[in-house]
Amino acid sequence: MMSFWRLAFRNLGRNRKRNFATGSAMAFGFAGILLLTAYAYRAKNYLRVYTVYVVHTGHLIVFPKNGFEKFAFEPEKFSLSAAEQEKILGLLKADPAVERFERQIHGQGLVGNGCVSLPFMARGYEPEVDHALREHPQVKLWMPKFRYLLQGRGLEAYPPELGALLLSRGLSSALGKTRLHDQFPESAPVSLPDCEHPKEQAAKDSNVQLLSGAWAGNLSAVDGEVVGLFTTGVQETDSSAIMGSVELLQKLFSTDRVAQIAVWLKNPDTLEASRAKLAAQLGEDFEVLRWNEERLSPYYVGTVNFLDTLIRAGGLVLSTIIALSVLNSATMTVLERSQEVGMYRSMGFRRRHIRQLYVQESLLLSFFSLLCGGILGIVAIRLINAADILYHPPGVAGGLYLILVLPAGQAIGAGTFILLLALLATLFAVSTRLRQTPADLLGGTLR
């Protein structure tokens, strides 16, 4: 027994070259959209995880009022006192939505090896939190090849009194501090400097001296032990960054205050609700920022906006190509088969029957094309991922591996969109022709 579906399927074989061309446009267009989607999805998640976990931004950050803007100029005034820290930590401990939190401190100064001193930007974290973030499932999932700890062990592996710190690789190289604490015997004495040969001198031990202005105004210095090398992932900061414990930097800045407290949520989907709740609990003396606010994460927000624009533009171009291909093909098919449409109408087919027939034809062609495009896209993604392609976006230290991750929901959404586009193009082409009388479609007579 015949059905419209069977008729539609057989009609696909009537103009194979055109259907092949249209199907190819749809398949390659869809594959292109999948590649773009996969790139954007992975890039956005990479940036999100980098921002939230790797650079310790957290999902929320608590500052004293105006602390975000004014801390750099008046750290003593626009930082959190011990009492304030206690109040905030108490609230966070009691909140079941909070996964973890961390007191943070940062500042700048000079780091020396006994002979040479260089400027640094230091960030103080809590070693156990740093360790937990390095091992976080989100980091493993989205940044499997990223290792910010390039050599040595993390801060959590050393007792607080050691003054353990990590040097960024550029700073390590500039200071000549290429050997780490673990590479020296425990009782190795700190040697007197021989600055005639500064590089050789620097390599004799893992000790550095940090010098900075204390927040109260006087100068302050501490000794530190280089226990590891790390990369910030950003060229701009990769030759001046130091990471230490909060305690070490508090000692350097002669304070018991911290700059901010970062908060990680168990369910980031509740971001705004959690922010509002915490802000309400803390009152007007504090401000709570979301990680994805432009003033807090300008790099993330700017890059994501750029990616979104890229995807929209690429998607628009590919969708237009697909729509025009289908429209052209459907128009040609309907024109070629005008007499046949007239025959159908003469036999009593209603306009909706004809539309149904062509729409089913278009659906079948689109379905097979999208299936091929989907397979093509997935194979291309797997090949790209297997190729271990390292590329170097501007400003990124060490480059990034090109890894594509296809989100199933977005892929299905894109496929559905193309399907609808094809159906609309077909309906437009058919409806235009169906305005004619059956006699006109037949060419004026029952030929």
Partner 1 sequence: MNGSTIIRLEQVSKSYHLGKVEVPALRAVTLEIHSGEFTAVIGASGSGKSTLLNMIGCIDQPDSGNVWIDGVDVLSLSDDKKSDLRNQKIGFIFQSFNLVPVLSVFENVELPLLINPLISASDRKQRVLEAIADVGLEALAPNLPDQLSGGQRQRVAIARALAGHPLLVLADEPTANLDSDTSLKIIELMLDLNSRKKITFLFSTHDERVMSRVSRIVHIKDGVVGA
H/E stretch holding 63: strand 60-64
Q: Smallest distance from the beta carbon of 329 to partner 1, in angstroms?
A: 17
Upper half-sphere CA count for residue 279 (Cβ side, 13 Å): 14
Q: Smallest distance from the beta carbon of 41 to partner 1, in angstroms?
A: 42
Name which of 379 and 439 has its Cβ closer to partner 1.
439
Instruction: Give the x-and-dash track for 112-151 against partner 1 (CB under 8 A).
Output: ----------------------------------------
Is residue 16 at the binding interface for partner 1, with CB under 8 A as the rule? no
For 156, counting Cβ atoms within 10 Å of its Cβ (0-12 exposed, 13-18 middle, 19+ buried), the class is middle
Is residue 283 at the binding interface for partner 1, with CB under 8 A as the rule? no
Do the Cβ atoms of 259 and 106 come closer than 8 Å? yes
Do the Cβ atoms of 286 and 161 come closer than 8 Å? no
Rounded distance, CA 419 to CA 362, Å?
9
Query: For the stretch 227-265, what's the b/e string if a residue is b when 16 or more beta carbons lie within 10 angstroms of its beta carbon?
Result: bbbbbbbbeebbbbbbbbbbbbbbbbbbbebbbbbbbbb
Positions in 332-351 near partner 1 (CB under 8 A):
339-340, 342-351
Instruction: Give the x-and-dash track for 287-326 against partner 1 (CB under 8 A).
Output: ----------------------------------------
Is residue 20 at the binding interface for partner 1, with CB under 8 A as the rule? no
Name which of 3 and 218 has its Cβ closer to partner 1.
3
Do the Cβ atoms of 371 and 384 come closer than 8 Å? no
Radius of gyration for the alpha carbons in the chain, expressed in angstroms and rounded:
32
Q: Smallest distance from the beta carbon of 410 to partner 1, in angstroms?
A: 37
Select from 179, 353, 368, 384 the one that contacts partner 1 (CB under 8 A). 353
Instruction: Single out the segment in contact with partner 1 by CB under 8 A; choices: 111-119, 136-144, 363-371, 438-446.
Output: 438-446
**Residue type for position 58:** G
Positions in 152-181 near partner 1 (CB under 8 A):
none
How many chain residues interact with partner 1 (CB under 8 A)? 31
Select from 5, 7, 65, 302 the one that contacts partner 1 (CB under 8 A). 7
Q: Smallest distance from the beta carbon of 365 to partner 1, in angstroms?
A: 15
The string of DSSP codes covering 111-172 is: EE-SS-EEEEEEEEE-HHHHHHHHT-HHHHHH-TT--SEEEE--GGGS-GGG-EEEEEHHHH
Do the Cβ atoms of 393 and 40 come closer than 8 Å? no
Name which of 93 and 447 has its Cβ closer to partner 1.
447
Q: Smallest distance from the beta carbon of 440 to partner 1, in angstroms?
A: 8
Instruction: Single out the segment in contact with partner 1 by CB under 8 A; choices: 5-13, 39-47, 191-199, 389-397.
Output: 5-13
Q: Smallest distance from the beta carbon of 268 to partner 1, in angstroms?
A: 55
Q: Smallest distance from the beta carbon of 356 to partner 1, in angstroms?
A: 10
Select from 13, 137, 185, 283 the one that contacts partner 1 (CB under 8 A). 13
Do the Cβ atoms of 258 and 103 come closer than 8 Å? yes
Rounded distance, CA 194 to CA 73, Å?
37
**Nearest Cα to Cα of residue 26 among 237, 325, 394, 332:** 325
**Nearest Cα to Cα of residue 242 among 350, 120, 396, 132:** 120
Name which of 3 and 187 has its Cβ closer to partner 1.
3
Q: Smallest distance from the beta carbon of 24 to partner 1, in angstroms?
A: 22
Is residue 447 at the binding interface for partner 1, with CB under 8 A as the rule? yes
Select from 1, 83, 94, 386 the one that contacts partner 1 (CB under 8 A). 1
Rounded distance, CA 81 to CA 79, Å?
7
Is residue 442 at the binding interface for partner 1, with CB under 8 A as the rule? yes
Select from 273, 313, 383, 439 the one that contacts partner 1 (CB under 8 A). 439
Name which of 14 and 199 has its Cβ closer to partner 1.
14
Name which of 272 and 440 has its Cβ closer to partner 1.
440
CB atoms within 10 A of CB 168: 25
Q: Which residue has the tokens 């579906």?
A: 5
Q: Which residues pair with 243 in a beta bridge?
A: 123, 166
Name which of 1 and 408 has its Cβ closer to partner 1.
1
Query: Which parts of this chain interact with partner 1 (CB under 8 A)?
Result: 1-4, 7, 10-11, 13-14, 339-340, 342-351, 353, 437-440, 442, 444-447
